[in-house]
Amino acid sequence: MAETTEALIARQRRYLAPSVATYYEQPLVFSHGSGCCLFDADGKRYLDFFGGILTVSVGHAQARVNAAVADQIQKLTHVSTLYVTQPMVDLAERLARMTPGNLEVSFFTTSGTEANETAVAMARMATRAYEVIALRHSYSGRSALATTLTGQASWKLGMHGIPGVVHAMNAYCYRCPFGRTPDTCALECAKDMEETIRTSTSGRVAAVIAEPIQGVGGFITPPDVYFQEIWRIVRKYGGLFIADEVQTGFGRTGRMFGIEHAGVRPDLMTFAKGLANGLPVGATIATRDVATSYQSNTISTFGGNPVSMRAALATLDVIEEQDLTGNARIQGERLRIGLEELQARYPMIGDVRGRGLMQGLEFVRSHKQPAPDLVSRFLEYTKQNGLLLGKGGLYGNTVRIAPPLSVNATQVDDALAVMGEALAGMVAEEPELRHVSE
């Protein structure tokens, strides 16, 4: 007899660490998925508009990816990087061909955390400088260094941090710390990078690490000129530019890589999540000059695993052959128009932001007061009606919307309809939400 949902949840709560939190008042238990849909243990169908935290890039149980994984498992599962395997070399060559600028040499790991750790180590060894600039509201992973790079207290796991990291202003336009609006902006946030280097470092830095769109930070989307300016400043002080593409990479924003919107050529890029459609993978790619400096003994036991490499190669095949980057742009525009129409009707949505199929809704009460309680209610409503969404942001008041890149127009419209019903239900319960003021 199959185990009941209640029994499984009880065992999860007993045997997994309390920090392994779940969404919703009553957690969901999934049995299988297909395309943009998931099915729970009772057979209920859900539209998945969070994609395993932006990881299921080409759809659940995608046939081409599954076939590549099954084929590889029958041949070779693991040997480590002490030996050469064709899938690892094939993926490294492919990343070199498709990434911008002179990026050419890869180091494979199993997660975005490790990819970011590797990038920082490479930058420090290449520049022979130690200090790294990260951004406020950023998220870099869960290791000691990655939590230090992270610009949100709630994700630091109670750690005090590692010396050598300072945080500069991010471009949070909706909550500009300088009180500017788009028509009065003079890029004060970007220019703060130079002030940060001159006052909070030795004056010589190894790198700045930045997400093109801050994922866990709540899909905060800086203007392109922000990256152009901080790239110029970090260069002036001897540093390199690390583009953290763990969430934005491989078509998500309507370009193959998020940083391409700004026209900036990074010295290093990091990947994970959507690269292998759910299999564990991390990658750091650097210019040859930077990578050549990375000479100390190092290894990633499971990095370059042939099964994950085959999954990644198949995922890239699907993205390119089905033009899912173009689909992300087209369906992202459709989604954005619908979200902005909802914002116009429901002022509790203070901001709509993002690019492509990476869109965020910031929920507020009067005077931009963050409203995480509204996000919780909204997610419960949408869950009841078969739609899965994410949440994030420093204040916990941002809904994160990121379906697989294979999503179609009907699914986008269905998701918008469910969100509209949820908002209407919230207003019916609390009529004053219709009159949130600036």
Measured CA to CA, the distance from residue 245 to residue 209 in angstroms comes to 10
3-state secondary structure (DSSP) of residue 284: strand
Shared-domain flag, residues 162 and 305: yes
Shared-domain flag, residues 306 and 398: no
Measured CA to CA, the distance from residue 358 to residue 221 in angstroms comes to 10
Q: Which CATH number is 385's domain given? A: 3.90.1150.10
Q: What is the pLDDT of residues 131-143, one digit of tens each?
A: 999 999 999 999 9
What element of type H or E holds 39? strand 37-40
Measured CA to CA, the distance from residue 358 to residue 375 in angstroms comes to 17
pLDDT at 434: 86
Measured CA to CA, the distance from residue 236 to residue 412 in angstroms comes to 44
Q: Dihedral, CA atoms, 254, 258, 264, 267, nearest 10 degrees? A: -140
Measured CA to CA, the distance from residue 298 to residue 287 in angstroms comes to 18
Sequence-separated (6 or more) residues with CB below 8 Å from residue 9: 27, 29
Q: What is the pLDDT of residues 405-414, one digit of tens each?
A: 999 999 999 9
| Cα 345 to the center of its chain, rounded Å | 28
3-state secondary structure (DSSP) of residue 168: strand
Looking at residue 10, what DSSP letter applies?
H
Shared-domain flag, residues 306 and 385: no
Shared-domain flag, residues 53 and 106: no
List Cα–Cα distances, 370 to 130, 138, 229, 388, 398, in angstroms. 36, 18, 29, 22, 9
Nearest to 304 by CA among 71, 77, 6: 77
Amino acid identity at 55: T
Q: Is the pLDDT of residue 99 over 60?
A: yes
Shared-domain flag, residues 316 and 327: no
Measured CA to CA, the distance from residue 418 to residue 401 in angstroms comes to 13
Measured CA to CA, the distance from residue 100 to residue 109 in angstroms comes to 21
Q: Is the pLDDT of residue 158 over 80?
A: no
Shared-domain flag, residues 49 and 96: no
Shared-domain flag, residues 428 and 315: no
Q: Which CATH number is 269's domain given? A: 3.40.640.10
Looking at residue 220, what DSSP letter applies?
B
Query: What's the chain's average pLDDT?
Result: 95
Q: How many CB atoms lie within 10 A of CB 10?
A: 12
Q: Is the pLDDT of residue 1 over 60?
A: no
Lowest mean pLDDT among 41-45, 158-162, 218-222: 158-162
DSSP letters of 51-102? HHHHT--S-BT-HHHHHHHHHHHHH-----TTS--HHHHHHHHHHHHHSSTT
pLDDT at 4: 83
Domain count for the chain = 2
Q: What is the pLDDT of residues 106-124, one digit of tens each?
A: 999 999 999 999 999 999 9
Shared-domain flag, residues 204 and 332: no
The two three-digit tokens of residue 329, written as one number: 């742009």
Nearest to 212 by CA among 178, 147, 256, 182: 256
- Residues facing residue 106 across a β-bridge: 285
Shared-domain flag, residues 154 and 273: yes
Domain hosting 193: range is 64-321
Sequence-separated (6 or more) residues with CB below 8 Å from residue 411: 36, 47, 403
Average pLDDT over residues 335-344: 98
pLDDT at 438: 67
Measured CA to CA, the distance from residue 355 to residue 323 in angstroms comes to 17
Q: What is the pLDDT of residues 294-316, one digit of tens each?
A: 988 888 999 999 999 999 999 99
| Cα 151 to the center of its chain, rounded Å | 15
Nearest to 395 by CA among 152, 134, 166: 152
Shared-domain flag, residues 89 and 215: yes
**Model confidence band, residue 41 (pLDDT cutoffs 50, 70, 90):** confident
Shared-domain flag, residues 52 and 179: no
Q: Is the pLDDT of residue 159 over 90?
A: no
Shared-domain flag, residues 334 and 210: no
Q: What is the pLDDT of residues 276-296, one digit of tens each?
A: 999 999 999 999 999 999 988
pLDDT at 160: 75
Mean pLDDT highest for which of 18-32, 180-194, 201-215? 201-215
Among 254, 288, 321, residue at a domain's last position: 321
Among 321, 352, 379, residue at a domain's last position: 321
**Model confidence band, residue 253 (pLDDT cutoffs 50, 70, 90):** very high
Number of residues that make up the chain: 438
pLDDT at 424: 97
DSSP letters of 314-360? HHHHHHHHTTHHHHHHHHHHHHHHHHHHHHHH-TTEEEEEEETTEEE
pLDDT at 205: 97
0.75 surpassed by pTM: yes
Q: How many CB atoms lie within 10 A of CB 184?
A: 10
What element of type H or E holds 165? strand 165-168
pLDDT at 302: 95
